[in-house]
Amino acid sequence: MSAVLFYGGTIRLDSTTDTADELLVVDGVVAEAGTHVPAEAVTIDLEGGLLLPAFGDGHVHPLLAGRELAGPQLRDAASVNEIVRRVADWSENSWQPWLIGGSYDATIVDGGLFDARWLDAADRDRPIVLHSWDYHTVWVNTAALEAAGITSATADPASGRIARRPDGSPLGTLIERPAIDLVLGRAPQPRIEDDVESIVWASERLAERGIAWAQEAWTELDQIPAWIAAGRSERLSVDFDLALRADPGLWPGQLGAIVAAARSFDDVEGLTARTIKFFVDGIIETHTAQMLECYHDASHRGIANWPPERLVDAVVECDRAGFDVHLHAIGDAAVRSAIDAAEAIRESLRRGRRLTIAHAQVIDPEDLARLASLDVTICFQPQWAALDDVMAKLTLPRLGAERELQYRIRSALQAGARISFGSDWPVAAPDVISGIQTAVTRQNAEGQPSEGWYPAERISVHHALDAATAGVAYQAGDEKTRGALGAGFRADLVWLDRDIREVAPERITEARVRGTWRRGERTYSAPE
């Protein structure tokens, strides 16, 4: 028997005001209050800090984050020349036939469109593919375009776009997965052993942030062997559920392969594949999010990867096959389609099926009112609810003043939706504490605006903590075993060096994770 006694701080048991002075964990499970403490129990003094149910991440891409390590670090590059220099240095020291990396900041070029000829200066002979920060866009060099056979005569694929010069030739920016796959479909596939190391590394980074469970939000079927190998290595620091992507070009014939893939995780501890992922639309910054009305700066409404009727049919099929559903929906039309799909499986939701709408960046007010009668979860990315460079330079010019209000977290709560938080890492860092502060203040890294960006959408720190703990557990269907510290719950724990409920909102990010536990085993210890 193993036993650990936590004392010397504040212990937040659940979403109520209940707290405790001590918590006993026996064999990875929270013991009932008053249970005899074994003589051999390990004791941990919280030193005045706060012990919570471990954080969850309701929407994250650990494999993509880990793969970025294989290439140059570009996120902080402030100019095209700086990116090209780093890629050139990488090229000089790489033996790989293709150079695939990311992710770069699309705001450094007006409009976010990058030219292949700029990247040719880094390497003209080998194909180069760089992911943008959003992972809905890539920047490629001329060799990559040539390897894919993309020319002026190449038509845009369905639900994808090839950015072009005025003469019709391909510019070097490919938008959305169907266009991106024209190039990546020709590239060598990553080695399984490299992907295993990427997954393990990413799980360690998540544990450092206090996370014990995460929804991996985009798994392709050819990535399954790497995930199984990572799970069987017994080196993962986080439990994951994998959301297997439904491809509109292969549906419904793909469902059988998804069912078989999910079964392959039955004997892999800490990994499940009980969710199917739908990209209902794209993103606002590339005009591919599906909107109810035309973009402010374009005469179209974006792209519907899954037309509404087809999405409803597919979600019903997933429900019948026993899967939960995770829907990427950015634009207000896509969010409406996602809610329509939820209504189609209303009875299943009441019986425990989980349907999550991820992002919900723009929600029509009429659709907010529909949430009260549907048991759905909206997984927001709270770090995005701020007036940063992406918002100012790319997003707001697309939407216009009439649709500025985004990430309506408080409105969704008041409407009766369940709320969870996710990071979408590597799009944003998997920093739960930073996300909590942004949700509470609606301020950017510089503390602006002083009253918060659309301050009526600020939420309390208590609601933010709930979204990062119990909300993610509910999204996972694990609300009876995770997300609280009641007797019999799994001992998934995070220890903060201070009680963030008692500090000024703008100082929440000063808190540090001292330790993380998953099923009673310590997965992270802060350096002394």
What are the CA-CA distances from residue 18 to residues 231, 486, 517 (Å)? 35, 10, 21
Residue 138 has a pLDDT of 98
Strands (E), 83-153: 99-104, 128-132, 137-140
- Measure the CA–CA gap between 295 and 302, rounded to whole angstroms: 8
- C-alpha closest to that of 522 among 111, 266, 207: 207
The pLDDT value given to residue 118: 98
Stretch 310-336: mean pLDDT:
98
Domain boundaries, the chain: 3-54+489-525, 97-184, 191-460
CATH code given to domain 97-184? 3.10.310.70
* Beta strands, E only, 161-264: 161-164, 170-175, 211-219, 239-245
Task: State yes or no: pLDDT of 426 exceeds 90.
Answer: yes
CA–CA distance, 21 with 362 (Å, rounded to integer): 42
Q: Kindly report the number of other CB atoms within 10 A of residue 92's CB atom.
A: 9
pLDDT classification of 17: cutoffs 50, 70, 90: confident
Phi and psi dihedrals of 23, rounded to 5? -145, 125
Q: CA–CA separation, 162 vs 290, rounded Å? A: 18
User: Mean pLDDT across the stretch 283-302?
Assistant: 97
- Gap between the Cα atoms of 197 and 98, Å rounded: 20
Q: What is the pLDDT of residue 288?
A: 97
- What does pLDDT average to over the chain? 96
Q: 3-54+489-525: which CATH architecture?
A: Roll (2.30)
Per the DSSP assignment, residues forming a β-bridge with 521 are 518
Q: What is the dihedral of CA 391, 392, 394, 400, to 10 degrees?
A: 90
Say if residue 345's pLDDT is above 90. Answer: yes
pLDDT value of position 289? 98
Answer for the pair 326, 356: CB distance below 8 angstroms, yes or no.
Answer: yes
What tens digit of pLDDT does each residue of 69-100 get?
Answer: 988 999 999 999 999 999 999 999 999 999 99
Distance CA 463, CA 166 (A): 50
The rounded distance, in Å, linking the Cα atoms of 490 and 522 is 13
pLDDT in tens, 373-410: 899 999 999 999 999 999 999 999 999 998 999 999 99
Q: Looking at the predicted structure, is the pLDDT value of residue 456 above 90? A: yes
For residue 157, the model assigns a pLDDT of 96
Which phi and psi (to 5°) does residue 134 adopt?
Answer: -90, -15
What average pLDDT does range 316-329 have in this prediction?
A: 98
Question: Could you report the per-residue pLDDT of 434-450, keeping only the tens digit for each?
Answer: 999 999 999 999 999 99
pLDDT number for residue 239:
98
Res 16: pLDDT? 82
Give the mean pLDDT of 7-14: 96
pLDDT tens for each residue of 146-155? 999 999 999 9
Given a cut of 90, whether residue 1 has pLDDT beyond it is no
pLDDT at 372 over 90: no
What pLDDT digit, counting tens, does each position of 50-59 carry?
Answer: 999 999 999 9
pLDDT at residue 15 in the model: 86
**Alpha-carbon dihedral angle through residues 509, 511, 517, 519, given to the nearest 10 degrees:** -60
Residue 114: is its pLDDT beyond 90? yes
Among 337, 315, 334, which Cα is nearest to 326's? 315
pLDDT attached to residue 102: 87
Whole-angstrom Cα distance, residue 59 to residue 422? 5
Least-confidence region, from 15-24, 253-262, 291-300: 15-24
SS3 515: strand
**Domain spanning 191-460, CATH architecture:** Alpha-Beta Barrel (3.20)
Predicted pLDDT at 528:
83
pLDDT of residue 18: 83
